[in-house]
């Protein structure tokens, strides 16, 4: 039994050593082939360094994921596969280190560093990271014809100049801008690939936003150091309203509606009406403060400011109405003459007292209580009606602004 185990162990060891030897042999073949191919290769020279033409670099991006927009920092994040391709005549070969192999994938970082690559960078990037799990997510593929494919997976945090005039019914245009960092446009010329320059997955989801369209263009950036070729893609994004309706609009509507309960309380119910008015006002102020924390401190008025401002006016107006009503309810009548006539529709349970007050022979009331109650009844209709009228103007105006047809987007290539 022991002898059999020893024989099995020796056989397994020989098999492992054979596999490692074959792997090392394969590796040596690729290194030898690349060493011969790059014998007279200068990594500092572009593929068209000996000509008057610029090296054409074709770019294509696949959006693996699209992160949510951060309104407070005015940025957003994307996870992309950045694919660049160009033609390098110096890398042409008739056959690879394997028979009938027309393309070679270079994985060795030391060999990758010996091949010329465009110095592409993102103009509006704040932070970037190349994925390195389980190894560097970088692909360098050489074709026998001399065409090179250079692809990498990167996560980018990009700045975006946002406009919050119609927030949360806004539409944003956020883009990605790339160009060469050191080589001017007479050395490198960027182009979008003709077929699908921006590739999007079918299941792409963006938190709180809908991706309506995108526009690609080729630009030339002018700096004091020279003119640099570049590419730009702009994403047209429309904010979804469901989150803000549930988290902001419905709670504020309920707070405003609760403040109207004071109109059904007695004018002399000071603790109840004051507590109700102050509580609703403080709750609305706290909610508005939370909304402002998620937005940058811009100087112009936003759609959410108009809404919160109107809600505060309604709640504060209900509190002021109680102050006036309480004053009327406790003010003694000095002049027995009628100051003004109360419509009977607002007299309510005070109709008999009102009739007595209109009778010259009857004893006049001591205070303006019936006027205070009549004002409460009037406000039961006036405040909800005014708020309803505001809603009938507010919602159509901003929804039309948000869902109006965008201008046609033309793709420049």
How does residue 181 score in pLDDT terms, banded at 50, 70 and 90? very high
* Superfamily classification of domain 31-240: Neurotransmitter-gated ion-channel ligand-binding domain (2.70.170.10)
Q: How far apart are CA 234 and CA 239, in angstroms?
A: 16
Work out the percent of the chain whose per-residue pLDDT is above 70: 82
| CB contact at 8 A, 191 and 58 | yes
Token pair recorded at residue 221: 């950036």
How does residue 49 score in pLDDT terms, banded at 50, 70 and 90? confident
Q: Which long-range contacts (CB under 8 A, 24 or more apart) does 62-65 make?
A: 62/199, 62/200, 62/201, 63/198, 63/199, 63/200, 63/201, 63/204, 64/153, 64/201, 65/204
Work out the percent of the chain whose per-residue pLDDT is above 90: 51
Q: Supply the pLDDT for residue 369.
A: 79
Of 99 and 191, which is predicted with more confidence?
A: 191
- Return residue ranges of the chain for CATH 1.20.58.390: 243-403
Q: Supply the pLDDT for residue 413.
A: 32
Q: Supply the pLDDT for residue 391.
A: 96
Instruction: Give me the mean pLDDT over the 47-73 stretch.
Output: 91
Q: Supply the pLDDT for residue 227.
A: 94
Neighbour count for residue 218 (Cβ, 10 Å):
15
Q: Supply the pLDDT for residue 103.
A: 86
pLDDT in tens, 214-251: 999 999 999 999 999 999 999 999 999 888 999 999 99
Helix axes 351-358, 369-403, angle to 10 degrees: 120
- Return residue ranges of the chain for CATH 2.70.170.10: 31-240
Q: Supply the pLDDT for residue 228.
A: 95
Q: Supply the pLDDT for residue 87.
A: 95
Instruction: Give me the mean pLDDT over the 321-327 stretch.
Output: 88
Instruction: Give me the mean pLDDT over the 178-191 stretch.
Output: 94
Neighbour count for residue 66 (Cβ, 10 Å):
22
Instruction: Give me the mean pLDDT over the 83-110 stretch.
Output: 83
Residue of 278, 301, 293, 291 lying closest to 251 (CA atoms):
291
CA 185 to chain centre: 33
pLDDT in tens, 235-293: 999 999 888 999 999 999 999 999 999 889 888 888 888 999 899 999 999 999 988 88
Instruction: Give me the mean pLDDT over the 29-42 stretch.
Output: 83
Say if residue 96's pLDDT is above 80. no
How does residue 33 score in pLDDT terms, banded at 50, 70 and 90? confident
How does residue 389 score in pLDDT terms, banded at 50, 70 and 90? very high
Say if residue 408's pLDDT is above 50. no
CB-based burial label for 131 (10 Å; 0-12, 13-18, 19+): middle
Cis peptide leading into residue 258 (ω within 30°)? no
Token pair recorded at residue 68: 């949510």
Instruction: Give me the mean pLDDT over the 317-322 stretch.
Output: 91
How does residue 99 score in pLDDT terms, banded at 50, 70 and 90? low
* Per-residue b or e along 360-398, where b marks 16 or more CB atoms closer than 10 Å to that residue's CB: eeeeebeebbbbbbbbbbbbeeebeeebeebeeebeeeb
Total-model pTM: 0.78
Q: Supply the pLDDT for residue 411.
A: 36
The widest CA-to-CA distance across the chain, in whole angstroms, is: 132
Supply the CATH classification number for the domain 243-403: 1.20.58.390
Mean of the per-residue pLDDT values of the chain:
84
Token pair recorded at residue 218: 């080729």
Helix axes 270-293, 250-259, angle to 10 degrees: 160
How does residue 331 score in pLDDT terms, banded at 50, 70 and 90? confident
Say if residue 373's pLDDT is above 80. yes
Q: Supply the pLDDT for residue 348.
A: 54
pLDDT in tens, 351-365: 445 445 555 555 556
């Amino acid at each position: 039994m022991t002898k059999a185990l020893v024989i099995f162990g020796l056989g397994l060891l020989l098999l492992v050593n054979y596999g490692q030897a074959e792997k090392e042999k394969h590796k040596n073949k690729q290194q030898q082939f690349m060493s011969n191919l790059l014998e007279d290769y200068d990594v500092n020279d572009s593929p068209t360094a000996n000509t008057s033409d610029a090296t054409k670099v074709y770019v294509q991006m696949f959006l693996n994921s699209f992160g949510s927009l951060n309104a407070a920092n005015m940025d957003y994040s994307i996870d992309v596969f950045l694919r660049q391709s160009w033609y390098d005549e110096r890398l042409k070969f008739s056959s690879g280190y394997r028979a009938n192999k027309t393309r070679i994938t270079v994985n060795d970082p030391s060999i990758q560093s010996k091949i010329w690559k465009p110095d592409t960078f993102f103009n509006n990037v704040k932070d970037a990271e190349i994925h390195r799990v389980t190894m560097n997510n970088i692909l360098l593929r050489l074709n026998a014809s001399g065409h090179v494919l250079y692809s990498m997976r990167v996560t980018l945090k990009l700045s975006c100049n946002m406009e919050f005039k119609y927030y949360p019914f806004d539409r944003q245009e956020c883009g990605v801008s790339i160009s060469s960092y050191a080589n001017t446009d007479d050395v490198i010329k960027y182009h979008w690939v003709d077929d699908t320059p921006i590739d999007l997955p079918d299941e792409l989801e963006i938190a709180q936003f809908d991706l309506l369209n995108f526009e690609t263009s080729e630009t030339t950036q002018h700096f004091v150091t020279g003119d640099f070729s570049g590419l730009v893609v702009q994403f047209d994004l429309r904010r979804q309203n469901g989150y803000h309706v549930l988290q902001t609009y419905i709670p504020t509507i309920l707070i405003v509606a609760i403040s109207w309960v004071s109109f059904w309380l007695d004018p002399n119910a000071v603790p109840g009406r004051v507590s109700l008015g102050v509580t609703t006002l403080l709750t609305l102020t706290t909610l508005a403060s939370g909304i402002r924390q998620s937005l940058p401190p811009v100087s112009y008025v936003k759609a959410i400011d108009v809404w919160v401002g109107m809600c505060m006016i309604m709640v504060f107006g209900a509190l002021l109405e109680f102050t006036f009503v309480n004053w009327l309810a406790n003010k003694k009548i000095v002049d027995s003459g009628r100051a003004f006539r109360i419509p009977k529709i607002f007299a309510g349970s005070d109709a008999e007292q009102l009739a007595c007050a209109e009778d010259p022979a009857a004893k006049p009331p001591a205070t303006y209580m019936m006027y205070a109650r009549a004002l409460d009844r009037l406000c039961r209709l006036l405040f909800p009606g005014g708020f309803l009228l505001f809603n009938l103007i507010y919602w159509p105006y901003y929804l039309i602004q948000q869902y109006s047809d965008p201008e046609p987007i033309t793709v420049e290539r």
